[in-house]
Structure 1
């Protein structure tokens, strides 16, 4: 009897194993069809790694990765969350609206550069421990804007015994993750009008079938939306899942951009834009952020006019959603670009012929077909804290001071210190600048022809003078590089 039972049990177990292998083969074919990879490693919903542990997205490239880890552009593994956490899977209609808002139509997809972009810090406990690697691609604007909020948190919010630049240099791996989480939550909360935040994570397998007119990208279809009505809850959730934004292959920058749009709501973002212009520009295969994205990162509203102090905004007569567009935020904005200026050509040229030359522009830029761009609004030039996102000749960087009283006490603005981080890999130390607003050297230099070859002031100095007109800038022995 016992032997006969054993004979029946063995085939049953064998059939079960065969069935499971068959199921595995079937799912591998499905994953392969959607461009996914099967990996035995699964990310768990865990809080920050303890100090000293290796974590993806920290240290030199390849640190903490196994030999068989996926390249950055592949799709990350879904996040496994315990029951009861909540969240709502993205619908096909919502995914289509999202793609149309980003690209105007639903054909383009994110480039490999965008897919690989995530929030990666410089080595901890170093001169640039606070700094994100921003690179030179189209995601740079988002990374540098988040960098400005990270600096604001580390310098003026976080409780620590360190002072001045020590607050930025003496940052470990755990503090890096915490600073990133606080910065992301702060930006999302502002986009939600101070009453909500939505966090997007890749958590679920693809459950919807794309329809005609929609081009799947294998990760937007796997988004899960988590909405929070309390800021502390949003901060805690992002802290617990910060690896979803800073890990290799996490698509961290895209996930944050999605979170930003859903926090504002797609409807209000479209209202902010006011026309059919997309949020992202595509030119020669490069995808870059428009000023609407910068405005959303800095003011919580996706309206380019928030950055430009137009006559209506300056006088307070412009319409809006009940908030003063020029109100002072935590992080400011400075912009300077060389504006083409029409000048009469020298003798010998035909009558009425004009020469288009590059001349210094004070916080303005000539927009083809639209005339000069207005100056940045006063509220962004003078934020509550001395931290600015800078757009200098189209390149984004961060300028900041360590004295919280700088913009609230006029005596502090006579001679003071600012620090500069370009986001570029070549920079190994924070640049130290001394600003003198009572020097007369600049007044003498202004008497020269603006197009004179002697007028060789670095673009960053020109951006600083959009805030402190007539100031002189000393690089304290460092060669000006921006």
Structure 2
């Protein structure tokens, strides 16, 4: 042992410290390139969140470290685009938050478009996450399903088209859905994509100031939908990567595609696009309207003020007003507002559902369902709630020719006071009096 080490002098303490600093710098560069940030705050946050208790339990508010946001994926300086002015950033925040302080929650800052594992029963599905971003994720999910089922060329049929999706196809589906939505917001003539160009690594525990991100984005404008879709596809990690702020960037892209002036016209005297209550940031129906119709007007979703599609015109005009994705709503608290016929009957059987404030996607696999009345007697619909505990797509059987007295007899004499699942009630806003069988799945919502 002594002879083997005789030719190598032991390093001095100073040399050992220098070597360790060199190794630390090397690993810091590697993690920085990967979009991660290593510091004591990250370590402390990881330890404090290891349990599942309420945030701040047993600690004073001032003793908790700030939330740590992973460094977003950044564009190279040669990517082009144009920055936004401070005045534009201020107008953006006013549209979103009104006169309140522009503050996104931690859930919004962390939200991005993340799929379930590829080649699985839910390979088509986005993880909905928590908080107010679920409405946006569910709306994009509806467009993804529409593309995978009815647009994409594949030999697979029915649900196989959704289950046999690989990672590359997931990215393509997301890029297509985002581009379609932005193009509709731009009136069919433009799309604007917002991407981050400077890092943001930490934020205070109570939330995330929207202006911190708005001042670091660049705008990329396209006059052709194919070009916009290709650009999004090339930069898809900027929307689906961890730390990408993908949901916020997509919301910004929607507003820039629509233009602030047209968004303000759509809103009229209504409240701003986002609601803030008890620290929670949620989407208004104006945001849902923008995602589904290209206009940020809650009247587009219903309420009795909009004219009937095709009023004063033939059936062809009414058909042209039907969108690619529909909308169904059910609220426990009256008054129940009726969704416009054009959204209850979209061109394809895919609906974003708002069920007592929670959002999911209802869809059929037969493209003829809404165009051939013979297909609407007894048929199957599928539902994805976005909740983490859902491991398979729920399959429902809809019977539009059932007899009410038979259903009442099965439910028993106390059935009039029985509350039905909100999803069933939403389905009945489209097919009045239909019965819904869950085929062994425990009803939810």
Matched, 1:145 2:108: no
How many equivalent pairs are there?
374
Taking structure 1 as the reference length, what is the TM-score of the superposition?
A: 0.73
Matched, 1:78 2:74: yes
**Aligned twin of 1:457:** 420
Matched, 1:272 2:272: no
Q: Assess, with a 3 A threshold, how the Cα gap between structure 1 residues 123 and 328 changes in structure 2: closer, same or farther.
A: same
Q: Deviations over 1:29-69 (max 9, x none)?
A: xxxxxxxx9963067xxxxxxxxxxxxxxxxxxxxxxxxxx
Q: Assess, with a 3 A threshold, how the Cα gap between structure 1 residues 312 and 124 changes in structure 2: closer, same or farther.
A: closer
Matched, 1:123 2:117: yes
Q: Distance in 2 between matches of 1:257 and 1:435?
A: 35
Answer yes or no: is the 8 Å Cα contact 1:203–1:224 preserved in 2.
Answer: yes
Q: Assess, with a 3 A threshold, how the Cα gap between structure 1 residues 444 and 475 changes in structure 2: closer, same or farther.
A: closer
**Aligned twin of 1:95:** 89
Q: Distance in 1 between matches of 2:80 and 2:132?
A: 33
CA drift at 1:285: 0.5
Taking structure 2 as the reference length, what is the TM-score of the superposition?
A: 0.79
Q: Distance in 2 between matches of 1:96 and 1:451?
A: 57
**Aligned twin of 1:41:** 33
Answer yes or no: is the 8 Å Cα contact 1:392–1:459 preserved in 2.
Answer: yes
**Aligned twin of 2:246:** 252
**Aligned twin of 1:381:** 344
Answer yes or no: is the 8 Å Cα contact 1:434–1:475 preserved in 2.
Answer: yes
Q: Distance in 2 between matches of 1:191 and 1:312?
A: 19
Q: Assess, with a 3 A threshold, how the Cα gap between structure 1 residues 444 and 171 changes in structure 2: closer, same or farther.
A: closer
Q: Assess, with a 3 A threshold, how the Cα gap between structure 1 residues 326 and 317 changes in structure 2: closer, same or farther.
A: same
Mean alpha-carbon deviation: is it higher for 303-312 or for 469-478?
303-312
Q: Distance in 1 between matches of 2:83 and 2:193?
A: 12
Q: Deviations over 1:354-411 (max 9, x none)?
A: xxxxxxxxxxxx3xxxxx3530000000000000000011110000000000000000
**Aligned twin of 2:331:** 337
Give the unaligned 5+ runs of structure 2: 1-28, 36-66, 201-208
Q: Deviations over 1:252-308 (max 9, x none)?
A: 000000000000001110110002511000000000000000000000000000001
CA drift at 1:108: 2.6
Q: Deviations over 1:397-442 (max 9, x none)?
A: 0000000000000000001110000000010000001101001036
Q: Assess, with a 3 A threshold, how the Cα gap between structure 1 residues 42 and 221 changes in structure 2: closer, same or farther.
A: farther
Answer yes or no: is the 8 Å Cα contact 2:397–2:439 preserved in 1.
Answer: yes
**Aligned twin of 1:209:** none
Answer yes or no: is the 8 Å Cα contact 2:93–2:211 preserved in 1.
Answer: no
Answer yes or no: is the 8 Å Cα contact 2:362–2:383 preserved in 1.
Answer: yes
**Aligned twin of 2:203:** none
**1:290 aligned to which of 277, 284, 288:** 284
Q: Assess, with a 3 A threshold, how the Cα gap between structure 1 residues 161 and 202 changes in structure 2: closer, same or farther.
A: same
Answer yes or no: is the 8 Å Cα contact 1:136–1:424 preserved in 2.
Answer: no
Answer yes or no: is the 8 Å Cα contact 1:388–1:400 preserved in 2.
Answer: yes
Q: Distance in 2 between matches of 1:275 and 1:314?
A: 23
**Aligned twin of 2:104:** 110
Residue correspondence of structure 1 range 384-423 to structure 2 within 5 A: 384-423=347-386
The list of structure 1 runs, each at least 4 consecutive aligned residues, that deviate by more than 6 angstroms after superposition, is 315-318, 323-326, 448-451
**Aligned twin of 2:23:** none
Answer yes or no: is the 8 Å Cα contact 1:306–1:325 preserved in 2.
Answer: no
Q: Distance in 2 between matches of 1:216 and 1:114?
A: 10
Q: Assess, with a 3 A threshold, how the Cα gap between structure 1 residues 317 and 277 changes in structure 2: closer, same or farther.
A: farther
Q: Assess, with a 3 A threshold, how the Cα gap between structure 1 residues 205 and 440 changes in structure 2: closer, same or farther.
A: closer
Q: Distance in 2 between matches of 1:134 and 1:179?
A: 16
Q: Distance in 1 between matches of 2:249 and 2:87?
A: 18
Matched, 1:179 2:173: yes
Q: Assess, with a 3 A threshold, how the Cα gap between structure 1 residues 163 and 104 changes in structure 2: closer, same or farther.
A: same
Q: Distance in 2 between matches of 1:449 and 1:280?
A: 44
Matched, 1:470 2:439: no
Q: Distance in 1 between matches of 2:319 and 2:278?
A: 34
Give the unaligned 5+ runs of structure 1: 1-36, 44-70, 207-214, 340-365, 367-371
RMSD: 2.8
Residue correspondence of structure 1 range 198-237 to structure 2 within 5 A: 198-204=192-198, 217-237=211-231
Q: Deviations over 1:95-154 (max 9, x none)?
A: 000001100026231111100000010000000000001023110000000000000000
Q: Distance in 2 between matches of 1:390 and 1:266?
A: 27
CA drift at 1:443: 7.5
